[in-house]
Amino acid sequence: MPQQALSQQVLQDRATALLALHQPGNPVVLPTVWDAWSAKTAVEAGFEALTLGSHPVADSVGKADGEGMTYDELTARVAQICAAVDVPISVDIESGYGETPQRLIDGLLAAGAVGLNIEDTVHKEGKRLRSPEEHAALVGELRKAADAAGVHVVINARTDLFLREDGSEADRVERAVARLKLAADAGADCLYPVGRHDPETMRRLTSELPLPVNAIALPEADDPASFGPLGVGRISFGPFLQRALTGTVNELLVRWR
């Protein structure tokens, strides 16, 4: 039987709970999951909220990251996860799959999710980078659609400037900060300068940005206690939790070849 849709009140309660977990200096860890099993495993380990990563979920169904899945395929997986656990779920919707902000929000809420990542690389248009104003406008439209639905969907606005090594390194931090400040003004709740940053760069980002900052972590290598002193408000794993598990599975299986 199809999953029964969550009520607006339940969705709003989960969105409120997710937003409250974002505390600079006391970061929430959102394990990056890709199916019902990984989600249930993370919740049973004690985590209060989760994020669904585009790369690991695409790998789990044999599709390519970078919007190799359709939005309907993604939300079908989101619905499976939301039916399996009773915690707030945020979803990486890449650059929006070419869908309208209204359909993006409606699809997430119908599946039971209450948060999203939105990046500024447009995969369906030759992987071009949105201008700062264009990306902020999209964030604003997503906020408007969520408000109309009566749920404060937690928007994590991501920039790929560091990942793409865009432009000169000399002013990349300044350009990322300016870009993300526009997204904050447009209605974002969290800001994601995705990449592996040295402590000095991360301190600068968290001190200059007006909202909680998302950092990416290597779950098997990084010190969980190292992020709080840098001012980080949110930690996720991107593809790295699935990658670490792949290594462990390979070690187990090699004995049986």
For residue 33, what pLDDT is reported?
98
Say if 1 falls within a structural domain: no
For residue 145, what pLDDT is reported?
98
Q: Considering its fold, how many domains does the chain have in total?
A: 1
Say if 255 falls within a structural domain: no
Say if 2 falls within a structural domain: no
Dig out the tokens for 3 from the structure: 């999953």
Say if 172 falls within a structural domain: yes
Say if 43 falls within a structural domain: yes
Say if 257 falls within a structural domain: no
Dig out the tokens for 192 from the structure: 């994601």
For residue 1, what pLDDT is reported?
37
Q: Are strands 121-122 and 128-129 parallel, antiparallel or unpaired?
A: antiparallel
Q: Which residues of the chain have pLDDT under 70?
A: 1-3
Print burial letters for 112-151: b (CB count within 10 Å at least 16), e (below 16).
bbbbbbbbbbbbeeeeebbebeebbbbbbbbbebbeebeb
Closest CA to 78 of 43, 114, 123: 114
Say if 131 falls within a structural domain: yes
Say if 254 falls within a structural domain: no
Closest CA to 166 of 181, 179, 184, 185: 179
Dig out the tokens for 77 from the structure: 């997986």
Q: State which residues form the domain around 84.
A: 8-249
SS3 string, 112-158, reads: CCCEEEECCEEHHHCCEECCHHHHHHHHHHHHHHHHHHCCCCEEEEE
Dig out the tokens for 187 from the structure: 């209605």
Report the CATH number that the domain containing residue 215 is assigned in CATH: 3.20.20.60
